[in-house]
Amino acid sequence: MAESGVLRTNRDFRRFWVGSALSTLGSQMSLIAFPLLVLSLGGGAAQAGLVASCSLVTRMLFRLPAGQLADRMDRRRLMLGADLVRLVTVGSIPLAAGLGHLGYPHLLVVAVIEGIATAVFSPASTIAVRDVVPEEQLSDALAKDQAALAAASLIGPFLGGWLFTVDRILPFTADAASYAVSAVLLLRMVTKPPQPAEGEKADNSPTAGLRWLARQPALLRALAFGALLNLVGSSAEVAMVVTLRGSGTGGTSIGLVMACAGVGAVLGSLAAPQVMKLLKPGQLFLTIGAVWSGGLAAFAVTQQPWVLGPLLVLLILLTPPAGIVVGQALLSQSPRELLGRVSTAANLLIAGLAALGPVVTGAALEGLGISPTWLVLAGLIAAATLVAALPMLRDTGLAPERQEQERSSEPAAA
């Protein structure tokens, strides 16, 4: 009963949810506007790519140290500080443009600082959900959060591109404003995060989260399966564009097909609570493996946009519930003093392989051709399903009942 009304009954979560969604929307607008701005200033494709890479690389490099910070400091203050830093750095772009001093080096510095601030914000934001939401509302809160982020990721690039056509500085003004609103909402949150445990000295290293995960076989299997899904997902983006381009599909149609992934993510997030009631974790992961294997194999035999788009929605539909299952298990089972480092370690494991996808797929498309590449991707998912997802049918480590047992057996540490 309480579970269905987390947005209505939990004022702090509502503030956090709105702020996080607006912040993500602003970031997604800037994501597409950054390379467009570099090109409009006379830069080339390599310079535009370098700006994007600077932001991504700094986020990866600072991820584990940021998790350690989230375990040691007040999470709300960390998020607030990160939002204020991003407000100032991104806000410096409209200011510099107004003064006539906007240049490429400035954009590089903004990309690096914004990347570091985002790396600090992310683990603190993940843990903040557990700080403001009781255990029985956790899965509903994660579903609501994921739905908002998926919607922001879907709308943001379109909105950013449109704002850029109105005025090239407008996306960055909107992004800075989103950080300002997020900061105000964080200031109004009244829930005090629990103090870090005094016994934290036992293991204070940045890699403590990785070592804890290494002792959790059920979680490791789920993370390994998720990592391969991400690898194949990032590969499929490149393969999809090449497939559609090769069949003579125009840019607008390609954009609409690619947007279907975002539609699937939004619908999957909204349907997640019902899906999680119908399917146990092992059944969910096995179903995803079967759907992805079949869907990717189907991509090898058809290049029609009206077929590929709905298929893409179907492929993405069950991934948000799987992400919520893993997220809930991580937040519920991780020792509180390791939450930041565990969440960043898990994120690193899941996202790390995805960076290789476009490079490897580009080589495969050139060396093997379009249809064989899709079949290789389908084979990878089928193998991962047999090795990682099939054993999950016997796992109890991801089940909600197990998580409640873990929490009840955990010594109370106020």
Rounded to 5 degrees, what are φ and ψ at 133?
-120, 130
Specify whether 360 is located in the same domain as 252. yes
- Structural domain includes residue 414: no
Cα–chain center distance at 117: 16
- Structural domain includes residue 201: no
- Structural domain includes residue 384: yes
Do the Cβ atoms of 228 and 402 come closer than 8 Å?
no
**Tokens 């994501």 sit on residue:** 31
Concatenating the DSSP letter of every residue in 40-60 gives: HTT--HHHHHHHHHHHHHHHH
Give start and end residues of each alpha helix (H) in 188-250.
208-213, 217-246
Cβ atoms within 10 Å, residue 103: 11
Specify whether 237 is located in the same domain as 314. yes
Specify whether 173 is located in the same domain as 303. no
Locate 104 and state its tokens: 């490429």
Domain-terminating residue out of 137, 153, 188: 188
Assign residue 144 the CATH number of its domain: 1.20.1250.20
Question: For residues 220 and 346, what is the distance between their CA atoms, to the nearest angstrom?
Answer: 9
Q: Binning pLDDT at 50, 70 and 90, where does residue 176 land?
A: very high
Count of domains forming the chain: 2
- Structural domain includes residue 200: no
Locate 296 and state its tokens: 């990717």
Q: Which helix (H) or strand (E) holds 410?
A: none
- Structural domain includes residue 265: yes
Question: For residues 245 and 257, what is the distance between their CA atoms, to the nearest angstrom?
Answer: 12
Concatenating the DSSP letter of every residue in 139-200 gives: HHHHHHHHHHHHHHHHHHHHHHHHHHHH-TTHHHHHHHHHHHHHHHHHHT--PPPPPPPGGG
348-391: pLDDT as tens digits: 888 777 777 777 888 888 889 889 999 999 999 999 999 888 88
- Average pLDDT value for the chain: 82
Question: For residues 191 and 329, what is the distance between their CA atoms, to the nearest angstrom?
Answer: 23
**Percent of the chain clearing pLDDT 90 (strictly above):** 21
Specify whether 230 is located in the same domain as 153. no
Alpha-carbon distance values, 307 to 186, 299, 381 (Å): 44, 9, 21
Per the structure, the complete domain to which residue 112 belongs is given by: 2-188
Average pLDDT over residues 303-307: 85
What pTM did the predictor assign? 0.74
Specify whether 16 is located in the same domain as 150. yes
Q: Binning pLDDT at 50, 70 and 90, where does residue 1 land?
A: very low
Q: Binning pLDDT at 50, 70 and 90, where does residue 410 land?
A: very low
Cα–chain center distance at 82: 18
CA-based max dimension of the chain: 63
Specify whether 134 is located in the same domain as 100. yes
Specify whether 136 is located in the same domain as 228. no
Domain-terminating residue out of 122, 157, 188: 188
Specify whether 174 is located in the same domain as 285. no
Specify whether 290 is located in the same domain as 141. no
State the pLDDT at residue 383.
93
**Percent of the chain clearing pLDDT 70 (strictly above):** 89
Question: For residues 376 and 297, what is the distance between their CA atoms, to the nearest angstrom?
Answer: 9
State the pLDDT at residue 2.
40
Specify whether 386 is located in the same domain as 279. yes
- Structural domain includes residue 411: no
Residues 6+ apart with CB under 8 A from 218: 329, 392, 395, 396, 397, 398
135-158: pLDDT as tens digits: 777 778 888 888 888 888 788 878
Which of residues 409 and 169 earns the better pLDDT score?
Answer: 169
Specify whether 179 is located in the same domain as 219. no
Domain-terminating residue out of 136, 153, 188: 188
Specify whether 319 is located in the same domain as 170. no
State the pLDDT at residue 199.
47
